Structure 1
Amino acid sequence: MENFVRVAAVEDLSPGSTLRLVDFDPPVTLVRDLGGDFHALDDACPHVGASLVRGVIHEDAVIECPLHHGLWCLRTGEPRKYPARVPATVHRVEVRDGGVWLSV
């Protein structure tokens, strides 16, 4: 059985925004995509380790690294555009009772 912890309220993030969760090792970036869905991934670009919390959110649940502009799918972690070659580590997220919950 998965354990979940509440990491934010739904209203804490507007569509297209991010939040760095530093209480995890490694830190996690919580993302609300442009469609309003929530995602979470390790806050380190798989290419060179840059923080993804300042990444640009694109249509189709994609995040762009602010350093070298690689693209990753927020749903699967799969790389979408070079120099992204290695998948990002994604984490399961649930929305319930007005909160955003992260699997730990």
Structure 2
Amino acid sequence: MKDIASIHDVAPGGTLLLDDGLLLIRDLDGDFHVTEDRCPHVGWSLRTGTLHEDAVIECPLHHGLWNLRSGDPVRYPARVPMKIHRVEVRGETVWLVD
């Protein structure tokens, strides 16, 4: 496990670019998720993607949607699942589990 951020580093609906091209995302409910900062469709950065209810992120280029809990595509042109890394919050620290 690796500590990657404080819970105060990312407000709900925000993102934080991490080392190794990973992106920490705090969904609208306040839950944390980590994925690569690249859309599985064409590799566009997700840092400025729009967050929707139910932990869904929208790519800013072609507007595909993915579920941040499962990585499953939600709306075309998203067809390929995104890799979601497990995280845990302990106290005020966000930990990358895998």
Quickly name the TM-score band, shorter chain normalised.
over 0.9
Query: Which amino acid counterpart does residue 49 of structure 2 have in structure 1?
Result: G
Question: Could you tell me which of 10, 14, 18 is aligned with 1:13?
Answer: 10
Shift of residue 103, structure 1, vs aligned partner: 2.2
SS in 2 for 1:85: coil
Map of 1:51 onto structure 2: 45
Aligned-residue CA RMSD in angstroms?
0.8
Runs of 4+ residues deviating >6 angstroms? none
Map of 1:88 onto structure 2: 82
Shift of residue 42, structure 1, vs aligned partner: 1.0
Uncovered stretches (5+) of structure 2, i.e. residues with no partner: none
Uncovered stretches (5+) of structure 1, i.e. residues with no partner: none
Superimposed CA distance per residue, residues 34-75 of structure 1 (whole angstroms, 9 cap, x where no aligned partner): 000001111110000001111110000000001110000000
Identity percentage over the alignment?
A: 60
SS in 1 for 2:89: strand
Query: Which amino acid counterpart does residue 16 of structure 2 have in structure 1?
Result: L
